[in-house]
Amino acid sequence: MLALIRRGLLGSVRTYGTRRVWHDVLAEGINCGQHGIEHLKRATAIAPNVLDRQFYATSPYSKWMADFTCIWTAEGWLYVAVVIDLSSRSAVGWSMCASAKAQLVTDAVLMTIWLGLNSTE
């Protein structure tokens, strides 16, 4: 079942939530509960924790943290991705979009890379 969950996550470019993955597993003929899928989905670690909770950086653009969120506005939902440089604790890359797509995060990271390459520090 773990292989089916991984295939569902990778096939959706890691955008599927538990419910969609659960429906994919059910469609394969495996009877299981949604909570079991949630538990197994957490077991499919995507990336290792390379920072190991060391949130300090001595040089600019050497360690980044990123997050994205959604904000309700008068015109509807706005999705925002931000990259923070841990040495300066400032936002060094960001992106905003009316839809939550992987490109949102990619654009924020690309902006950070571009600014880092063109940095005078």
Does the reported pTM lie above 0.85? no
pLDDT in tens, 28-68: 888 888 888 887 777 665 567 777 778 788 888 788 888 88
**Higher local confidence (pLDDT), 115 or 79:** 79
Helices (H) and strands (E) in the chain, counts: 4, 3
Residue 1 has pLDDT above 80, yes or no: no
Percentage of the chain exceeding pLDDT 90: 18
Query: Does residue 99 have a pLDDT over 70?
Result: yes
User: Structural domain boundaries of the chain?
Assistant: 2-43, 64-117
pLDDT in the model for residue 81:
93
Q: Where are the alpha helices (DSSP H) in the chain?
A: 2-11, 18-27, 34-43, 102-117
Task: For residue 110, give the 3-state DSSP assignment.
Answer: helix
Percent of the chain having pLDDT more than 70? 88
At 16, phi and psi to the nearest 5?
-75, 140
Q: Is the pLDDT of residue 75 over 80?
A: yes
